[in-house]
Amino acid sequence: MSVSAATRAITPQGIVARKGGAPLACLTAYTTPMARLVDRHCDLVLVGDSVGMVLHGLPSTLGVTMEMMILHGQAVRRGLDRALMVIDLPFGAYEEGPQQAFRNAARLMAETGAGAVKLEGGAAMVETVGFLTARGIPVMAHLGLTPQAVNVLGGYKVQGRGEDGERIAADAAAIADAGAFALVLEKVPQDLARRITAEIAIPTIGIGASAACDGQILVIDDMLGLFADFQPKFVRRYAELGRDADAAIAAYAADVRAGRFPAPEHAFGDAPAPRSTGSDAG
C-alpha cells in the first residue's frame, strides 16, 4: 500500500461512522485479482472462511485452517488499497478462550496485514471480543446462521424465528457493548434485523438479513454466478461467470481439437509447416 493509499484506507472507525448512513457495500475475496476488483467499489473486503467451500471444495467451513486463511489473506492484501480488510478466525482457532483467540488473531493480522478479524458467536464470545478489542484487535462479530456451528444448528437454516429472536438480540447487544465494531447478521428474519439494527450502536452487515441492515455482504463467487447448482434465495446473481466460463472452455477445447487454436498470430518465429495428416504420410 502506498503512503497516499494508506491515508485514505478505510478503518474500523470509518465503518462505525457509517452507522445509519449510506449502506456499506461489502464482499468476500480470496485472491489478489478479485481483491483488486472489489477494492475499486466496496468499503470492506472479508477474507471469509467460506474460502474452504468456495475455492477448496470442502463440504463446510470446519476444515479451514489458519494456514489457508493466512495464504489467502496475504493474496487479498496485495490487491487492496482502500477497503478495510477483515479476516475470519477459522473454526478451532478461538473458541477455547480469549488467550487462544488473541494468539491466532494477532498472527492473522501480523502475517496478512488485515485490519480486523471476524469471529462467530454470541454470549460465549463476549469476553473474547472485549479481550481482543482491549489489546488492539478490532473485531467484527457474526450472529444468526453461524456456519461454523452448522452441526449444532442442524443445517444452514434461517435463525432467530419466534422466541429465539430474543436470544440473538441479547447477544447482539452484548457483543456490541463488548467492543465489536460491526456485526454480520446471517439469515435472520427482517423484523429481527431491523430491531437489532435500531438497538445497537455499531453497523449491522446483512447476508440474507434484508435491507434493514446498515450494510450488505455476499460471497463473491455466489453473486458472480460461478456455481450453477447453488442459488440461495438471498443472493442476486450480477453475472453468470460459471456459465460463461463453461462456454469459453468448451469453445477452447473444440478449437484445439479442430486445429483452430493456436492461430498464426499466437505463434513465435516462422510459420510452421502445415501439420501432416495420415493421408500425406504414404
Which residues of this chain interact with ligand KIV, rule CB under 6 A?
Answer: 28, 46, 48-50, 88, 142, 184, 186, 207, 217, 219
In the complex, minimum distance from the CB of residue 47 to ligand KIV, in angstroms, rounded to a whole number: 8
Q: Which is nearer to ligand KIV, 99 or 120 (CB)?
A: 120
Decide: 153 and 145 in contact? Cβ < 8 Å. yes
**38 and 10 Cβ atoms separated by less than 8 Å:** no
Single out the catalytic residue among 186, 199, 240, 265. 186
> Cβ 2 to ligand KIV, closest distance in Å?
28
Q: Which is nearer to ligand KIV, 34 or 219 (CB)?
A: 219
Work out how close the CB of 274 gets to ligand KIV at its nearest, in angstroms, rounded to a whole number: 52
CB neighbourhood size of 153 (10 A): 15
Closest CB to ligand KIV: residue number? 48
CB of 223 to ligand KIV, least distance (A): 11
| Residue (60 or 100) nearer to ligand KIV, CB | 60
Residue 1 identity: M
Q: Which residues of 45-67 are buried (b: 16+ CB within 10 A; e: fewer)?
A: bbbbbbbbbbeeebebbbebebe
- Report how far residue 62's alpha carbon sits from residue 90's, in angstroms, rounded to the nearest whole number: 8
User: Is 186 marked active-site?
Assistant: yes
Strand segments, DSSP code E, in 123-250 are 139-144, 182-186, 204-207, 215-218
- Rounded to a whole number of angstroms, the minimum distance from the CB of residue 191 to ligand KIV is 20
Q: Which is nearer to ligand KIV, 88 or 214 (CB)?
A: 88
User: What are the grid coordinates assigned to 46, written together?
Assistant: 472479508
> 178 vs 205, which CB is nearer to ligand KIV?
205
C-alpha cell read off for 15: 465503518
d(Cα 95, Cα 72) in Å, to the nearest integer?
Answer: 22
CA 236, CA 231: separation in Å to the nearest integer? Answer: 9
d(CA 143, CA 120): 6
Catalytic residue positions, numbered: 186
